[in-house]
Chain A
Amino acid sequence: MDRSELTQLRILAAKSRLGAVIGTYHAKSGHPGGSLSAADLYTYLYFKEMKVDPAHPDWEDRDRFVLSKGHCCPSLYATLALKGFFDWEELCVLRHIGAMLQGHPDMKKTPGIDMSTGSLGQGISAACGMALAAKLDGKGYRTYTLLGDGEVEEGQVWEAAMFAAHHKLDNLVVMVDQNGLQIDGTVDEVAGIEPLDQKFEAFGFEVFKIDGHDFEQIADALDKAKAVKDKPTAVLMKTVKGKGVSFMENQVGWHGVAPNKEQYELAVAELEAEIKRLEGEC
């Protein structure tokens, strides 16, 4: 990836974060923390990795993305808007009555959303179903799913992991956003999940551990995943919850509350300054 490409991705990621802040502020609710930690991944997936067509969101041969940690949708919505699936203005009515953008992803209401999610642990199973359907039909599309690190405490995740390995779903990439925080505290304090890499390896996955904010590492892991045969891939991404908004970073309290007016203005100012700085690099 050359320097200008990287800068472009960073700008798009900053805009995705801005969208998450705008959306949760106008909704007066939502989940900014995990939205900010996942924004770089969404950006890479939709702008570099996945074959999708915003004009034809239901295109049969598209790559699929299932946001298993459904609550982190505000920045995903922003990324989909940036990609052209719908208008950016939709973010200003996120979670409002009659809105296209629901509190958790709704495949029937929102173009570009491949699966309705929100109840943790369920998205990964649906992703397995999509990957299996591709195998059955001899289609080349790939399926990606993102889980939270708290989410892997759900037993269904491991049922799905066994299923994916048993059926040799090498067209499936399971990513875990390891920001280390869940509602009641740090993941280590609440119900530790480590060693997560060894767990996925034991369940039959090829495992890559990366920095989830480093586009080159994301690119490298997803490229290597394409070469993995006869088993699914897990990409464990070390991330910072609240990434990109200084006062939200690594604060468990920013899991599920919206910024007030003052915090909103501060966050917007930070992100806009970052976008301006990056645009200056171009």
Chain B
Amino acid sequence: MAETVLKATRESFGEALCELAKENKDIVVFDADLAAATKTGVFKKAFPERFFDCGIAEENMMGVAAGMAASGKIPVAASFAMFATGRAFEQIRNSIAYPRLNVKIAGSHAGISTGEDGATHQCIEDIAIMRAIPNMVVLNPADHWEMKEATKAAIAYDGPVYIRLGRLAIDSFNDPETYSFEWGRGITLHEGTDVTVVATGLVVNESLKAVRELEAEGISVRLINIHTIKPIDRDIIIKAARETGRIITVEEHNVVGGLADAVCEVITDACPVRVTRIGVQDEFGYSGPAWELLDAFKLTRPHIAQVIRDVVNEK
């Protein structure tokens, strides 16, 4: 197992783009005055002729990216998740997704771990918004290595993709030697029989720590990492529902419209079992240091472990 890398997925994304752009001359990057924060700034430095700052004008940025894609380029349009998917929702829907143009939308500073900036900048609805648009792929990688592979896959795919990036530096848990990103396939990180935890993004590692802690207590938990929220891996979820009889979802997103609902949609018509939804409970965030916020919203290891214990004890 390689050494743990402490890095925000936005940084991994910026690095991956630069590596890919060396080979692929069609990649162009747009940002809306947040290049230093979304980390497209590293691309700007490496490929200034292929980087375009659109200024604080996200709606136009999405439209320009669409026009570029219609002319054969592979545009990446980056902003904070809030402004990319919120402000420019309808441009993404009508100018990008409807004509199925090859634009990659990167939403950084997603979730409450954006921290001190507070609720206006903590996007907890982006997965729900993007998931509801036909033709759109939704990716939410969980660590440095997964983000690099997901970015590679997103660029290789011909069509619109939303990719969720985090601000907070987090530990990697995947092993680059063995890791493989399969489009639309969940990854079983831990085998178990008592209950299944389905997690996505930043909280996958917290879930993994919780699952390992519980193993010592004799609780057997299956953990599935869903990096591709749409199209979702139906098979792995249905199998888990059948074999463990109970599911817990974990996401740094509103429990309305995100991973929880995506999982429920799958099992409702295939194998209905009870689902406990860990996430932001349909409320706005507030200012504070990221880890303190994650803890306050019960998205850290001890809280996740306690919910799992309660669910297993209930069974």
Contacts and interface: CB of A to CB of B under 8 A. Distances in A.
Interface of A: 60, 64, 66, 106-108, 114-119, 121-134, 136-137, 155-156, 159-160, 162-163, 166-167
A22 B71 CA distance: 33
A156 B62 CA distance: 11
A250 B240 CA distance: 65
A131 B98 CA distance: 21
B55 interface: yes
A82 B49 CA distance: 41
Nearest to B53: A166
Interface stretch (B88-96, B160-168, B246-254, B303-311): B88-96
Contacts of B90: 119, 122
Contacts, number: 106
> What interface size band does chain B fall in?
20 to 34
Would you call the interface of chain A mostly helix, strand, loop, or mixed? helix
Interface string B56-81: 01011111111111111101000000
B301 interface: no
B286 interface: no
Contact of A132 (B55, B57, B68): B68
Would you call the interface of chain B mostly helix, strand, loop, or mixed? helix
B95 A125 contact: yes
B185 interface: no
A133 B73 contact: yes
Interface string B120-152: 000000000000000000000000000000000
B66 to A, nearest CB: 5
B99 A130 contact: no
Contacts of B50: 136
Interface in B100-121: 100
A124 B63 CA distance: 8
Contact of B63 (A114, A118, A129, A167): A129
B55 A125 contact: no
